[in-house]
Structure formats: C-alpha cells, structure tokens
Amino acid sequence: MHRYDVEVLAYHKLDGSAEPCRMRIIEGDREIILHIKRTVGKPSQRANLDAGVQGLCYDCIIAGNEHRQAWLYDDNGKWALVVN
C-alpha cells in the first residue's frame, strides 16, 4: 500500500459536494498527472491507519489503471492518494 500527497482538481457542485476529476503527484523532479475515470459510490468518512490518513474518502478508478484499487482522501482540503 502506497500513499502520495496530491494536488486535486475537482468539480464543486451546487449542493456543496465535490467530484474529483484529476490529480497531480510531485516526486522530486518528476510530475505525474492522473485522470480519475470515475468514483464508485458516495464518499464517506474513513481512516486508513496503515497509510496514516483520514478524511472524506472517495473510491476511485484511475484512467489507464482500472485494475488497481485507489482511494482519494480529502482531509479539510489536504488530499492524499492511497493505492494498493
């Protein structure tokens, strides 16, 4: 299980919810842009003690990596991606 701190581009809807659509990972000199194909179900408050992250969790399917599990956590505007 790997955790990455990420920057997220999200659509903010009229009902106050957010729908993440793209994220950016910066590792040293390397920058990776990932597109979120879709989120599965509704986000829920969760914690992942192994990855040391908590917050509103989105189950994500990342374009090009549909076979991997990915969870995107929003902890009051600080985003983290956890992949299996």
Place of tokens 């986000």: 43
- C-alpha angle 44-59-47 in degrees, rounded to nearest 5: 50
pTM for the predicted model, two decimal places:
0.90
Specify the pLDDT at position 69.
Answer: 87
Read off the pLDDT of residues 36-75 as tens digits, 9 standing for 90 and up. Answer: 999 999 999 999 999 999 999 999 999 998 888 899 999 9
Question: With contact defined as beta carbons under 8 Å apart, do 25 and 34 qualify?
Answer: yes
